[in-house]
């Protein structure tokens, strides 16, 4: 008995010491919280800057794709046929009274000659309204109301795979615009390009998936027509409309969507020695298509057709001196590291670093904005991988010979991509979905790009814990008093989120007035909330506790946002984390006046820059140059965000704004 008791005691002690180790480690971290947070923040910033160096070359991960293994068979015959279509379209656009009725008919006629199943899809312009409840579900299922509005007409053709099972389909989309008289060349070429590929595929014996060609009328924007068609494709309308005889044919589930349009660049731009294809991949809320799709396009374009591939890049950053200096530093560091150990090969020429950074910034920004960069975004809403390819020819399309050569090249690129996707046996799943691009053939995967964010967020709980320990009150439930101002702030932020819904109901207000109404309404709401619930500075509310609670809520908000849209959380953390760490009341008494004055300066600067309106303006200024930015455009940019149902709007108003308000609360805390 005794022995057993002793043993039990020893065991208890052992477990006690074991658990104490973790606690002690945590305590150690908390006691050195300032040092830890400084180190973590610096590490996070450095890791962010080093990301272009850590980018890996892309590779095709899915065996089944086999890009470029088959020779393209698109010939001059197909292209000349397509050229006839182009000429016909141009004639109609020049002569006919109503080209927007004639062109779909013409396209349908050409499709039918190939033996495709053809129909027209009519759609109307959607009402760009603020739907607070439609976030994360981009397609509000509104019944089509074609009667009273002007509508666009897309033409759709379907080729059934001769020996396929008809359960899968590849969608080709070629947007065209008849309204824009100047761009009819390019629009007609887009149609021609699609037609050349379509005519080849209509005779192909190797199809395992059906081919759907949507010649989408983009008078209301490229995205609208595609999204309307996809909505009708996926949400069959069984009720009513039987009299109107609307034919809507379907093929199988979509394996992939390829949107391509021909764009003629202005001559004044710098001389190109090759045709260029620009890939746009970002869909709503930072979703990306599977990296394999981009890899296939890149591989075929570069290694088979000799087309240059571009992706979005911020030209301003390439010229920025700061980034260039950084590039030089990185080059030197890389060289130094390699001199230490020849196996460390992260040396990168500074020019490459600069370009990588500019591309990465564009990639992060486009994802963080949460707005699709093209019609492919509509596909992503139905979990279909899609990409938009913008092909710009080296020579003018007016010349028939160069046009034919260009169509042949572009057509073979699309043929190769279709054949590659046709080889797929299941959905794209092998490669990455979460990545940033630093070049068309370089990417930073999720495992790497999470490191800077983790470093930035890691000090938050530690600081919160240390602040909680520093308070004079020893009651473990003491944070409950400070929960009240937090609750008020968040209630207020919800009110601010919903206000635009009512403001947008009042029609015909200029955006400046809307902006002022929004600001005034928010201010009034805040005052009313304080009158109802009392001042945030009651005597129980210590500033340290307030800061701890603010940090806790912000870190929760950031982590949630990182799941929804990582890029937003990443950029947001750059603004919010310093605010959380530096917050200090003006009236607090400290011994070291130098440090205090420095912190105070920082605080005041952050109080200005951290305000969502200025923060957004700052971001846009950094990216696009400060000349064009105006604070009054905030309403428009917010309207843009909710028009696309971007979660970034929610983040700005529900996480960033309360954080800033609490920051002000701390700044002006009476410190009794």
Positions touching another protein (CB under 8 A) are 63-64, 66, 69-71, 161-165, 205-208, 419, 422-423, 425
Q: Which is nearer to another protein, 208 or 360 (CB)?
A: 208
**Residue 14 CA to chain centroid, in angstroms?**
51
Q: Which is nearer to another protein, 63 or 472 (CB)?
A: 63
Backbone angles phi, psi at 296, to 5 degrees: -60, -45
Name the one residue in this structure whose structure tokens are 């279909």: 384
CB 373 within 8 A of CB 281: yes
CB of 161 to another protein, least distance (A): 6
User: Which residue stretches of 434-587 are H helix?
Assistant: 446-457, 459-470, 479-503, 511-533, 543-564, 566-582
User: How far is it, in rounded angstroms, from Cα 262 to Cα 394?
Assistant: 11
The 8-class DSSP code of residue 302 comes to I
SS3 call for 552: helix
User: How far is it, in rounded angstroms, from Cα 134 to Cα 127?
Assistant: 14
Q: Which is nearer to another protein, 60 or 577 (CB)?
A: 60
Q: Would you report the helix, strand and coil content of the chain in percent, each value rounded to 5?
A: 60, 10, 30
CB of 414 to another protein, least distance (A): 16
User: How far is it, in rounded angstroms, from Cα 341 to Cα 337?
Assistant: 6
Task: Provide the total of helices (H) and of strands (E) in the chain, helices listed first.
Answer: 23, 11
Q: Which is nearer to another protein, 8 or 425 (CB)?
A: 425
**Upper half-sphere CA count for residue 509 (Cβ side, 13 Å):** 17
CB of 210 to another protein, least distance (A): 11
Q: Is the dihedral of CA 470, 475, 477, 479 positive or negative?
A: negative
Containing 505, the helix (H) or strand (E) segment is: none
Q: Is the dihedral of CA 64, 67, 73, 76 positive or negative?
A: positive
Q: Which is nearer to another protein, 72 or 459 (CB)?
A: 72
CB of 420 to another protein, least distance (A): 9
276 DSSP β-pair partners = 308, 392
CB of 279 to another protein, least distance (A): 23
CB of 158 to another protein, least distance (A): 16
CB of 252 to another protein, least distance (A): 12
Q: Which is nearer to another protein, 112 or 165 (CB)?
A: 165
CB 194 within 8 A of CB 175: no
Q: Which is nearer to another protein, 167 or 335 (CB)?
A: 167
Which residues lie closer than 8 Å to 511 by C-beta, 6 or more apart?
Answer: 632, 633, 635, 636, 639
The CB density around residue 73, as the number of other CB atoms within 10 Å, is 12
Which residues lie closer than 8 Å to 367 by C-beta, 6 or more apart?
Answer: 282, 286, 288, 436, 565, 566, 567, 568
Q: Which is nearer to another protein, 10 or 425 (CB)?
A: 425
CB of 78 to another protein, least distance (A): 17
Q: Which is nearer to another protein, 408 or 418 (CB)?
A: 418
Q: Which is nearer to another protein, 206 or 336 (CB)?
A: 206
CB of 304 to another protein, least distance (A): 11
CB of 430 to another protein, least distance (A): 12
Q: Which is nearer to another protein, 205 or 592 (CB)?
A: 205
The 8-class DSSP code of residue 655 comes to I
Q: Which is nearer to another protein, 7 or 165 (CB)?
A: 165
Structure token pair of residue 473? 């009150």
User: How far is it, in rounded angstroms, from Cα 451 to Cα 527?
Assistant: 41
CB of 111 to another protein, least distance (A): 22
CB of 429 to another protein, least distance (A): 14
**Upper half-sphere CA count for residue 166 (Cβ side, 13 Å):** 7
CB of 202 to another protein, least distance (A): 15
The CB density around residue 401, as the number of other CB atoms within 10 Å, is 8
CB 481 within 8 A of CB 541: yes
Name the one residue in this structure whose structure tokens are 């595929």: 201
Q: Which is nearer to another protein, 158 or 541 (CB)?
A: 158
User: How far is it, in rounded angstroms, from Cα 170 to Cα 213?
Assistant: 9
């Amino acid at each position: 008995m005794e022995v057993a008791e002793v043993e039990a005691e020893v065991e208890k002690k052992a477990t006690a010491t074991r658990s104490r180790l973790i606690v002690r480690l945590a305590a150690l971290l908390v006691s050195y919280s300032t040092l830890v947070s400084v180190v973590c923040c610096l590490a996070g910033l450095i890791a962010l800057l080093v990301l272009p160096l850590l980018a890996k070359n892309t590779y095709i991960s899915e065996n089944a794709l086999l890009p470029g293994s088959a020779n393209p068979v698109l010939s001059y015959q197909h292209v000349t046929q397509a050229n006839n279509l182009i000429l016909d379209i141009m004639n109609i656009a020049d002569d006919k009274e109503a080209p927007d009725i004639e062109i779909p008919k013409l396209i349908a006629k050409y499709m039918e000659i190939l033996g495709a199943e053809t129909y027209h899809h009519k759609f109307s312009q959607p009402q760009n309204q603020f739907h607070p409840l439609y976030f994360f579900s981009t397609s509000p299922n509104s019944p089509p109301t074609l009667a009273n509005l002007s509508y666009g007409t897309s033409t759709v053709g379907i080729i059934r795979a001769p020996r396929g099972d008809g359960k899968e389909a590849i969608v080709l989309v070629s947007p065209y615009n008849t309204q824009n008289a100047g761009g009819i060349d390019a629009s007609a070429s887009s149609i021609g390009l699609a037609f050349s590929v379509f005519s080849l595929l209509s005779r192909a014996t190797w199809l395992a998936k059906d081919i759907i060609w949507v010649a989408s009328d983009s008078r209301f924007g490229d995205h609208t027509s595609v999204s309307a068609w996809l909505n009708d494709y996926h949400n069959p309308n069984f009720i009513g409309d039987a009299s109107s005889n609307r034919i809507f044919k379907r093929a199988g589930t979509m394996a992939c969507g390829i949107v391509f349009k021909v764009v003629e660049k202005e001559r004044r731009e710098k001389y190109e020695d090759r045709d260029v294809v620009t890939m746009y991949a970002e869909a709503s809320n930072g979703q990306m298509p599977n990296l394999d799709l981009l890899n296939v396009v890149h591989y075929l374009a570069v290694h088979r057709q000799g087309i240059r591939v571009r992706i979005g890049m911020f030209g301003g950053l390439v010229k920025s001196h700061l980034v260039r200096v950084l590039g030089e530093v990185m080059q030197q560091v890389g060289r130094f590291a390699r001199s230490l150990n020849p196996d460390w090969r992260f040396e990168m020429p500074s020019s490459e670093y600069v370009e990588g950074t500019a591309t990465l910034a564009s990639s992060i920004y486009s994802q963080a904005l949460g707005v699709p960069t093209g019609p492919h975004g509509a596909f992503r809403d139905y979990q279909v991988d899609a990409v938009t390819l913008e092909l710009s020819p080296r020579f003018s399309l007016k010349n028939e010979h160069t046009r034919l050569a260009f169509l042949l090249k572009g057509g073979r690129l699309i043929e190769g991509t279709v054949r590659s996707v046709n080889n797929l046996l299941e959905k794209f799943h092998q490669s990455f979905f979460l990545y940033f691009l630093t070049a068309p053939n370089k990417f930073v995967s999720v495992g790497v790009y999470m490191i800077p964010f983790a470093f930035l967020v890691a000090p938050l709980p530690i600081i919160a814990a240390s602040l909680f320990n520093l308070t004079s009150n020893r009651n473990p439930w003491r944070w409950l008093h400070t929960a009240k101002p937090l609750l008020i702030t968040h209630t207020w932020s919800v009110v601010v989120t919903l206000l635009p819904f009512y403001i947008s109901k009042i029609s015909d207000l200029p955006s400046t007035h809307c902006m002022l109404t929004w600001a005034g309404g928010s201010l009034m709401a805040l005052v009313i909330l304080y009158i109802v619930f009392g001042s945030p500075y009651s005597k129980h509310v210590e500033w340290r506790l307030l800061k701890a609670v603010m940090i806790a809520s912000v870190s929760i908000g950031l982590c949630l946002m990182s799941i929804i849209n990582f890029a937003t959380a990443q950029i947001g953390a750059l603004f919010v984390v310093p605010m959380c760490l530096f917050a200090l009341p003006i009236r607090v008494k400290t011994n070291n006046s130098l440090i205090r004055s420095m912190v105070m300066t920082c605080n005041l600067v952050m109080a200005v820059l951290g305000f969502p309106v200025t923060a957004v303006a700052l971001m846009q200024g950094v990216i696009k140059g400060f000349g064009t930015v105006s604070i009054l455009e905030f309403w428009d940019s917010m309207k843009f965000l909710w028009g696309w149902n971007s979660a970034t709007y929610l983040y700005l108003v529900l996480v960033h704004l309360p954080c800033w308000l609490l920051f002000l609360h701390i700044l002006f805390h009476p410190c009794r």
